Structure 1
């Protein structure tokens, strides 16, 4: 799709403290494990208000707060509000959860387009056969060539039968950045007939991450706004949205 969809990842009634860490799935209390069985992916735990224990989770790709009662017997899904109806620490929660999701993007298998140390980093899910991914690559040239942005392409294979083999060829290339640049400039990469197992595993990780983020089409781009909140643009953005994604030209 080429019409941009811009949205922040919804305000979150949860807090990930800087010291919070994910525990092994078997360590979660029984009510939390029951939610996992229903499709929740629990990322970490944190101290909540009034003796509650909070859990940062994803459900259908969307951030979700879960709270465990002090007796450990009940799990409550949703926001915590005070006597005025205000959500508990919403701005801090947005930033902290966005940081946790950003770390997941950082740990994916991507190809960099642009110089290291660029002041702005964008992650985008890219299919080698996606025409709108190619359009985004071309539209971003002024920012990338000026050293203002590094776009990190998370390769997936969705659109065509040979998409996985082409994505594998790019990841396995001796110089993946150069191979991606040639491909997006019009010199289409040849599918890799027998991708190494390690490359196939990288593509599988990227595919799972895409599903975790609730993304079902490419390109889907993620960036952090001036307040540090994680934002998403779906598709190849028009001029105004492109500047939101890449920053001032």
Structure 2
């Protein structure tokens, strides 16, 4: 009986300690969140989460597409990349990749323009605006990439003309040809753009949900994101490792 009482007391003490740690963590994150809101004007909805960073005494604030760091009181904020000098590893980049990882298989591919190069064995998706210069640059880079299937989600966010061109491309008889002709050869699409373009609205909603704030945004088969017009060498290497 004595032993049972002691075990019960230990279990209760451990549970109380855990609750205390949790409460303390909540108080700290609430304090940081309050300080960021009142002092920096950051909206509460923009703060996706606050956790301890890998550097002691530092807290990581997840703003969706960006990470910033704070002390436990929210008195000091660091806006930059956290580097592990021993491992030569960019901890900020690694965490952003982890946070923003996408379940590739669940993407609505029926809403994308599909282009198959070579055997198409490697897969990638791109959120792209027809008038984005970096998207044009990426399409030129893709000309030298073989054995890949590219799913382009038309994501017209730059201007009304972007929306008009996206609709024309989507309504073309051969969407892949219309897309490549415009993006690579600058041959404007000729379709009327009056077909059912609900897919484009769905892409815009999906991109906002996934925090796609810039074009182009590349998503690899393993769910990793590559923002911007990545170089051919980097893209080739990333496709091979994600395959």
TM-score (norm 2): 0.51
* Structure 1 residue 46 corresponds to structure 2 residue 51: yes
The aligned residue for residue 65 of structure 1 is: 68
Change beyond 3 A, Cα 1:53–1:160: closer
- Could you say which structure has the higher helix fraction? 2
Q: CA deviation at 1:208?
A: 7.7
Change beyond 3 A, Cα 1:223–1:55: same
Q: CA deviation at 1:97?
A: 1.7
Unaligned ranges ≥5, structure 2: 1-28, 182-186
Counterparts of 1:86 and 1:135, CA distance in 2: 33
* Structure 1 residue 184 corresponds to structure 2 residue 180: yes
Maintained 8 Å contact 1:166/1:191: no
The aligned residue for residue 234 of structure 2 is: 244
Change beyond 3 A, Cα 1:163–1:47: same
Counterparts of 1:208 and 1:189, CA distance in 2: 31
Counterparts of 1:161 and 1:134, CA distance in 2: 18
Q: CA deviation at 1:164?
A: 1.0
Counterparts of 1:223 and 1:167, CA distance in 2: 20
Q: CA deviation at 1:51?
A: 6.8
Q: CA deviation at 1:142?
A: 4.5
Maintained 8 Å contact 1:94/1:229: no
Change beyond 3 A, Cα 1:188–1:174: closer
Change beyond 3 A, Cα 1:75–1:154: farther
Counterparts of 1:88 and 1:45, CA distance in 2: 24
Change beyond 3 A, Cα 1:127–1:232: closer
Q: CA deviation at 1:191?
A: 4.8
* Structure 1 residue 56 corresponds to structure 2 residue 62: yes
Change beyond 3 A, Cα 1:196–1:231: closer
Larger radius of gyration: 2
Secondary structure (helix, strand or coil) at the match of 1:192 reads: coil
The aligned residue for residue 115 of structure 2 is: 113
Secondary structure (helix, strand or coil) at the match of 1:114 reads: strand
Unaligned ranges ≥5, structure 1: 1-27
Maintained 8 Å contact 1:79/1:88: no
CA RMSD of aligned residues (A): 5.1
The aligned residue for residue 129 of structure 2 is: 127
